[in-house]
Amino acid sequence: MASLTYELTLAGLAVGSAAALTGIGLIVTHRATGVLNLAHGAEAMVCAYVFRQLVVVWGWPLWPAALVTLLAVAPALGLLLDRAVFRPLARSGTDPARALVASTGVFVLLVGAAVLLWGPGARDDAPVVLGDDPWLQLAAVAAVACLVTAVTRWTRFGRELRAVVDNRRLAVLAGVDADRFAAAGWAFGACTAGLTGVLLAPYVRLDPYGLPLLVVEVMAVAVIARMRSLPVAVGAALLIGVTQAQLTRFHPEGWAEPLVRAVGANLFVIALLVAALVLPGIGGRGHDVLPPAPRAGRTPPAVWALAAGCLLLPLAVAGPDLRTAVRVPALAIVLLSLVVVTGRAGQIALGQAAYAGLGALFTALLSAAGLPPLAALALAVPLTGAAGLLTAGPAIRRHGLALALATLAVGVAVSRFVLAQPYATAGLPPPARPAPFTTDRAYYVLELLLLTAALLLVAGLRRGRTGRALAALRDHEPAAEAAGVAATRLKLLAFTLAAALAALGGGLLAMATEAFDPTAYDPLRGLLWFAAVVTLGADRLLTPLLAAPLLLALDTAGPAGAAAVLIGLLATRTPRLPPLTTLLTPPPARPRPTEGRGAPHGPPTADGATPPTRRPAPGPPAVTGGAGGLITPAEGRDTPRGPSAAGGAPPPTGGTAPGPRAHAPARLRAEGLWFAHRGGVTALRGVGIVLPAAQVTAVVGPNGAGKSTLFDCLAGARRPRRGRVLLDGEDITGRPAHARARRGVARTFQRPAVFPSLSVEENVRVGADHAPRPAAATERALLLTGLAGPVRALPAADLPTGVLRRVELARALAGRPHTLLLDEPAAGLDAGETEALSRLLAALAADGLTVLVVEHDRDLVAAVARTVRTMEGGRLGP
């Protein structure tokens, strides 16, 4: 027994040391470049193939081949990726989400290239370098870890590397060549990938799919180490490797046997799942979504007609062509699920293939249980939707790269523990097509009908309030929450709907092929689908209709791997290119605002916005709803939200503004707020504030005094460590930002926070959607802020600061708040705009609105504030 334990421990150490190498490579690359390199496993696979090519095919001696592979080919591959893909991205200031898409593209590209070059079949003749002595492998890992630690701790290179890691921009300003470190990081990462591939290939199947996926699983160790600590990564890798090996000793009887076997074979998958879903995340808030694609115009009817014509074309053919074509609508529905969750909601969902697989599996199981095929499919869709809801729950709590990893981990886990297991699929009869749609042609018609229904559903969703809110969430989550959007609920909806759609597509796919094939839904295919949708335009309904036939045509007509190569090539370029579907659609029309009395901030600029430079016309700020300027509330008459909206006293009568009511009781107050930022800065030290109703209160103070933190605590964006926030006497300290917005507490941000993919009017409408009579509230807010002219139709991207501030203010007012929190509203405004703003604030306060303004502009404060409080060092003066 002791010798068995020893033998298994040795085997576990061998696997663990290969995993440790992966962890070291991923962490070094991530620290030097900020990129989570999903393609690490694909690099390992390519190096393993090159090594085998040199030794087995060309007959090179073992060691020269190993040295050439690890010291020439691998670093060259890393440097090539750096120069061709990631350096241009880093220079364009691209965020981690886009870099992740690019690394997905590299993954898909390398897998496709390997299939093209070496074929899809597995090789069992990969040469063995270090024998099966794990101590040698361990020694290699220890040597690499020590080398990395020594270089980063004790050399100038290491010091500069740490400077780049801490703050790339500052390091560059200090004269550090950040590109050099990124290149070194990519080259080193590729070397470790190569070593992993060369070491692992003899013991696992060397095929283009297996090894990359295996390395994706062992990413768990880097996540456990939070992409930082090499010793933690190495320790975790060895521990998981040894535990996994020891688990093979257990052979429980009965139902648990296959489960224990599956766990024993996939412990790294479980570790990845736990690390991605439970451990503190890597990456940061706001970095987890794909930025919006450039706004494109409506798809011309001719393009839709062309797409419809192409989809109808297979009805005119027969035989094998039609047999291939029946997969197109089903795949299009699966891809449509990505349009919802990734395109509209901006969430990086890398595990969508799993839900398609579950849809197919449930359909097959329910059919086998005796349900008619259509009923089985109809039941499989909500069942998978529920599975999507369950898995999305923990996943969406993640931010940053952890969210992407969490979705990938869920996909891999479903594939390994459900789809690929005999206990789920053994003896499953192929799912039958529903009568009378049993022939290919009839079944294709049924699929087209369901595809049309799915497209209409998603189109309706995107057009309405939910679609607007999802886009807002994608564009700027804190601003969306401040506008009343319930972020968590909405993300859950997006993931659930996407899972259900993927299930519909997956079930149809299984019926189309009349087989349940787990490999049709493996995680690598999910990455290909993701890359295809992002490449062609994630937020466009046309994308699935183009991507599905393209992928299937390349798969069937082209050589194996062609689709992956093409999509991979495009995806590595995508972050710098507009999505391809936008080439089919004209840019949105940019109306030219007319100048006149309604444009006190000057004539329209080339982009249709009003420039922030011209002073307003003298006299009262009233304008007649032109392209710019601000008008008094009386002209855009509508009563600010009364106490009834907050569930309190009855609403004000009629449509008359309540007028000044300085005597009214304060509604929002804070008591004894303490807040410490991560990193230890105590920004608030027992702050208490009462906001007198229908007055402007100003908080002034030096930079870093804690004003914005106070704001965040009042608005619900941060939760104080101690103290309370009260609204109408009720403790709302634990209430999230969107709930406070819905109860009439609106805010703006220090840096204008708008939703660039939405028009000015849609931006404002997001704020009004939770208010009574949203259309009227939007109109009123647009009028008040001088945005009721043609400028309302412009995309909110690239507008001048003055206009952006007005858009933000309009969005806040559109929710008909009783309390408005303005964080430096005059920052970036010219004198005229500031003057107009102060008149509007005074008028709003006179109209009954309670305003708290944090401002450095003394003139504005003097003009509008009845009470001025000074803040310094986290304390609020009298």
- Enumerate binding residues for ligand ATP (CB under 6 A): 677-679, 681, 683, 701, 703-709, 750
For ligand ATP, the closer of residues 149 and 867 by Cβ is 867
Which amino acid is residue 245, in one-letter code?
A
Shortest separation between residue 444's beta carbon and ligand ATP, angstroms: 55
Shortest separation between residue 292's beta carbon and ligand ATP, angstroms: 24
For ligand ATP, the closer of residues 433 and 476 by Cβ is 476
Q: Exposed (0-12), middle (13-18) or buried (19+): which is 167, by Cβ within 10 Å?
A: exposed
Shortest separation between residue 478's beta carbon and ligand ATP, angstroms: 12
Beta strands 850-854 and 696-700, pairing class:
parallel
For ligand ATP, the closer of residues 707 and 740 by Cβ is 707
> How many CB atoms within 10 Å of residue 869?
18
Provide the 3-class DSSP secondary structure of residue 671.
strand
Provide the 3-class DSSP secondary structure of residue 643.
helix
Within 13 A of 568's CA, how many CA atoms are on the CB side?
A: 23
Angle (CA) 662 667 668, round 5°: 115
For ligand ATP, the closer of residues 407 and 708 by Cβ is 708
* 36 token code pair: 């989570």
Count of residues in the chain: 878
Shortest separation between residue 82's beta carbon and ligand ATP, angstroms: 31
Shortest separation between residue 689's beta carbon and ligand ATP, angstroms: 14
- For helices 440-463 and 301-312, what crossing angle results, to 10°? 160
Distance from C-alpha of 553 to C-alpha of 310, rounded to nearest angstrom: 13
In b/e form, how buried is each residue of 390-404, taking b as 16+ CB within 10 angstroms? ebbeebbebbbbbbb
- Alpha helices per DSSP H over 476-561: 477-482, 487-513, 523-536, 542-557
Shortest separation between residue 863's beta carbon and ligand ATP, angstroms: 20
Shortest separation between residue 398's beta carbon and ligand ATP, angstroms: 19
For ligand ATP, the closer of residues 159 and 677 by Cβ is 677
Which amino acid is residue 38, in one-letter code?
L
Shortest separation between residue 676's beta carbon and ligand ATP, angstroms: 9
Distance from C-alpha of 228 to C-alpha of 371, rounded to nearest angstrom: 52
Distance from C-alpha of 599 to C-alpha of 787, rounded to nearest angstrom: 9
For ligand ATP, the closer of residues 664 and 676 by Cβ is 676
Distance from C-alpha of 695 to C-alpha of 687, rounded to nearest angstrom: 20
Shortest separation between residue 805's beta carbon and ligand ATP, angstroms: 16
Nearest CA among 188, 258, 254, 192 for reference residue 221: 192
For ligand ATP, the closer of residues 663 and 678 by Cβ is 678
Shortest separation between residue 874's beta carbon and ligand ATP, angstroms: 7
Shortest separation between residue 709's beta carbon and ligand ATP, angstroms: 3
Q: Exposed (0-12), middle (13-18) or buried (19+): which is 750, by Cβ within 10 Å?
A: middle
Distance from C-alpha of 752 to C-alpha of 43, rounded to nearest angstrom: 42
Shortest separation between residue 698's beta carbon and ligand ATP, angstroms: 13
CB 870 within 8 A of CB 877: yes
Provide the 3-class DSSP secondary structure of residue 404.
helix
Distance from C-alpha of 834 to C-alpha of 830, rounded to nearest angstrom: 6
Distance from C-alpha of 772 to C-alpha of 755, rounded to nearest angstrom: 22
CB 399 within 8 A of CB 281: yes
Instruction: Output the CA–CA distances (angstroms, integers) from residue 442 to 2, 180, 227, 323, 501, in the order listed.
Output: 64, 60, 52, 12, 21
Distance from C-alpha of 760 to C-alpha of 762, rounded to nearest angstrom: 6
Shortest separation between residue 674's beta carbon and ligand ATP, angstroms: 13
Nearest CA among 79, 87, 77, 82 for reference residue 43: 77
Shortest separation between residue 712's beta carbon and ligand ATP, angstroms: 8
Within 13 A of 454's CA, how many CA atoms are on the CB side?
A: 33
For ligand ATP, the closer of residues 297 and 704 by Cβ is 704
For ligand ATP, the closer of residues 650 and 679 by Cβ is 679
For ligand ATP, the closer of residues 3 and 703 by Cβ is 703
Distance from C-alpha of 855 to C-alpha of 844, rounded to nearest angstrom: 17
Residue 62: which residues within 8 A CB-CB, separation 6 or more?
55, 127, 129
For ligand ATP, the closer of residues 633 and 706 by Cβ is 706
Shortest separation between residue 699's beta carbon and ligand ATP, angstroms: 9
Helix or strand run (H / E) with residue 747: strand 745-747
For ligand ATP, the closer of residues 156 and 678 by Cβ is 678
Return the biggest CA–CA distance within the chain: 95
CB 808 within 8 A of CB 748: yes
Shortest separation between residue 675's beta carbon and ligand ATP, angstroms: 8
For ligand ATP, the closer of residues 81 and 865 by Cβ is 865
For ligand ATP, the closer of residues 179 and 872 by Cβ is 872
Provide the 3-class DSSP secondary structure of residue 872.
strand
Provide the 3-class DSSP secondary structure of residue 854.
strand
For ligand ATP, the closer of residues 385 and 825 by Cβ is 825
For ligand ATP, the closer of residues 605 and 750 by Cβ is 750
For ligand ATP, the closer of residues 520 and 684 by Cβ is 684
- Ramachandran bin of 339, using left for φ above 0, alpha for ψ from -120 to 50, beta for the remaining angles: alpha
Shortest separation between residue 394's beta carbon and ligand ATP, angstroms: 25
For ligand ATP, the closer of residues 677 and 722 by Cβ is 677
* 343 token code pair: 């395109």
Shortest separation between residue 479's beta carbon and ligand ATP, angstroms: 17
* 860 token code pair: 């504005």
